């Protein structure tokens, strides 16, 4: 018996990385950890994003959110402090505001090779910590190689439209169940957590889902820190 946890996420979302760490802390304490299947789902916060090489990340966020540059910098500092609390050393000021569609295609490819979680982690790392461009195909190929994906096959995938339909399917599914922000965790289609909740909250839902996942009941959502399609984090 396997319990499925679907996680909608965008590798550009800081709370998705923070939420991943918190969820994994809970999973490490869960007695049925080896009977849980984690499935990463694609979700783009800004599908139409194009990189702006003549502006830094503070200018970008102040523009899309309609706030001052100083306010944007303060928001980044607040998120950086939250990340430090779970052991992540974000370098948000160096992040490249690039479209994540190709990164999502790469995750879908990695999922087909049973390396979805590893690919998700590597992309989070290179975006939030190393400040690399996640829309640069050579950067993506290097990241894929790091987790053991074949270079030639990865290049072929990225130079085609492979897995584009899988990304769009995940995004459509998110719309159908009402996902407005990420991270969004769904436990066997019965319970959901929106945002980067505490490990204790995740563990509670894991326990409850395990006890009840054969029963029919409506989806219950617990809300927490997340990023929305309106650019709010």
Query: Tens digit of pLDDT for each residue in 104-140?
Result: 999 999 999 999 999 999 999 999 999 999 999 999 9
Query: Which phi and psi angles does 118 have, rounded to 5°?
Result: -65, -40
CATH number for 3-228: choose from 3.40.30.10, 3.40.50.12280, 2.60.120.10, 3.40.50.620.
3.40.30.10
Cα–Cα distance between 197 and 21 in angstroms, integer?
A: 10
Cα–Cα distance between 167 and 106 in angstroms, integer?
A: 10
User: Where exactly are the structural domains of the chain?
Assistant: 3-228
Tally Cβ neighbours within 10 Å of residue 148. 11
Query: Which phi and psi angles does 151 have, rounded to 5°?
Result: -60, -50
- Of the pLDDT bands very low, low, confident and very high (cuts 50, 70, 90), residue 222 is low
Task: Output the pTM of the full model.
Answer: 0.89
Structure tokens that stand for 84 in this block = 């430090």
């Amino acid at each position: 018996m396997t319990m499925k946890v679907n996680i909608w996420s965008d590798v550009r979302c800081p709370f998705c990385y923070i939420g991943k760490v918190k969820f994994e802390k809970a999973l490490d304490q869960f007695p049925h950890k080896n009977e849980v299947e984690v499935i990463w789902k694609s979700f783009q916060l800004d599908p139409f994003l194009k990189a702006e090489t003549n502006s830094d990340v503070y200018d970008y966020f102040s523009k899309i959110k309609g706030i001052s540059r100083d306010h944007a910098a303060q928001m980044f500092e607040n998120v950086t402090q939250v990340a430090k609390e779970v052991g992540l050393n974000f370098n948000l000021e160096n992040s490249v505001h690039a479209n994540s569609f190709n990164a999502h295609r790469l995750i879908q490819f990695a999922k087909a090779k049973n390396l979805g979680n590893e690919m998700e982690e590597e992309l989070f790392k290179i975006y939030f910590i190393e400040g690399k461009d996640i829309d640069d195909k050579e950067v993506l190929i290097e990241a894929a190689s790091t987790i053991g994906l074949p270079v030639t096959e990865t290049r072929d995938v990225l130079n085609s439209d492979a897995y584009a339909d899988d990304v769009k399917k995940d995004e459509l599914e998110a719309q159908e169940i009402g996902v407005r922000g990420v991270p969004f965790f769904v436990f066997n289609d019965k319970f959901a957590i929106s945002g980067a909740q505490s490990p204790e909250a995740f563990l509670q839902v894991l326990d409850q889902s395990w006890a009840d996942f054969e029963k029919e009941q409506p989806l219950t959502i617990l809300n927490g820190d997340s990023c929305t399609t309106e650019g709010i984090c």
